[in-house]
Amino acid sequence: MLEGKIVRAPRARVVRDGVVVHEGVLESLRRFKDDVKEVEKGFECGIGMGNFQDIKPKDMVEVYMEESKARKLQEPK
């Protein structure tokens, strides 16, 4: 972890040289041999991406959650 923190979220993508090479589900997040919910900046962790095993040095893993927000109409003045 170089920046921010990683939390166990339903979605993740692997970015290599500025190109998304995989987008899928983050299946596991481990610190040593323990399953954890989050890992802070400066610590090492293990990430399981399900059917994607081709993570290479300098790849970036971005974890995100999709949210949907209901739009609100503004009242006329």
Q: Is the entire prediction scored with pTM above 0.95?
A: no
Cα atoms in the 13 Å half-sphere on the side-chain side of 32: 1
In the DSSP assignment, the letter for residue 73 is: P
Q: Parse the chain into domains and list their residue ranges.
A: 5-36+49-64
Residue 35 or 3, more confident? 35
pLDDT, tens digit, for every residue of 44-75? 888 888 888 888 988 888 888 888 888 888 88
CA distance 43 to 35: 14
Length of the chain: 77
* Residue 56 three-state SS: coil
The confidence score (pLDDT) of residue 45 equals 87
* Single-letter code of the amino acid located at 22: H
CA distance 31 to 22: 23
The confidence score (pLDDT) of residue 21 equals 94
